[in-house]
Amino acid sequence: GENVEQHPSTLSVQEGDSAVIKCTYSDSASNYFPWYKQELGKGPQLIIDIRSNVGEKKDQRIAVTLNKTAKHFSLHITETQPEDSAVYFCAASIRTDKLIFGTGTRLQVFP
């Protein structure tokens, strides 16, 4: 079955700096790669996703890149703000039938 590895487990950045989180997946058939953000005491929420026919996708300060050959994808947050502090999860699946999540990255943005 699919296995998703995520790094780093914790990330601390200064406000205004960029943050990058990386994930690798094992199943070459996976074609859907979402990112979820979890704030304290809440369930994860989708922030951006990418399908295998696209190499990069942007939404304001957030971007995701996908390298299907290497089976890895990354989340990039630019101009970080304190409200970006949260736990971020990557995931992979074939469509969205069975999302397999990484172990999460705790991002802290210091003012």
The H or E element that residue 51 is part of is strand 45-51
CB of 27 to another protein, least distance (A): 14
Length of the chain equals 111
Binding pattern for the stretch 74-93 against another protein, x by CB under 8 A and - elsewhere: ---------------x----
Neighbouring C-beta atoms of residue 37, cutoff 10 Å: 20
Q: Which amino acid is at 61?
A: R
Contact call for residue 95 and another protein (CB under 8 A): yes
Whole-angstrom distance, CA of residue 56 vs CA of residue 58: 7
Contact call for residue 101 and another protein (CB under 8 A): yes
Contact call for residue 25 and another protein (CB under 8 A): no
Contact call for residue 43 and another protein (CB under 8 A): yes
Contact call for residue 111 and another protein (CB under 8 A): no
Task: Report the residue number, 42 or 60, with the smaller CB distance to another protein.
Answer: 42
Contact call for residue 28 and another protein (CB under 8 A): no
Q: HSE of 52 in the Cβ direction (CA atoms, 13 Å)?
A: 18
